[in-house]
Amino acid sequence: MPSSTITVPHQLGKDEALTRMKEMLGQAQHDGADRISDLQETWNADGGTYSFNASGFTVNGALAVTDSAVEITVDYPIAARPFKSKIESTLRDRTESLLAA
């Protein structure tokens, strides 16, 4: 299964960055209600894991949050490989915007 890892630096501190990342997943499901379903999230003090269905594809991943960066790993099916660059750029843009101080 192909994967992407994106690291986005921040200056928010770990707790605030984690709170914002939790909000981002919920907002993504709300905004993409016609394309995103079955969102599952598991969180701990350092990040979490997630999975959802998007346009017929199952997407899994993990988030690791530190005091200075968020690392997001996305695993997606081979059939979604043509969308890899779009997935990465959208995820990076949304995360950078969300974590802007």
Give CA separation, 5 vs 47, 75, 76, 94, in Å.
14, 9, 12, 15
| Cut 0.75: pTM above it | yes
Instruction: Write down the domain spans for the chain.
Output: 3-99
How high is the pLDDT of residue 52? 87
CATH architecture of 3-99: 2-Layer Sandwich (3.30)
pLDDT tens, 28-48? 767 766 777 888 999 999 999
The pLDDT score that the predictor gives to residue 90 is: 85
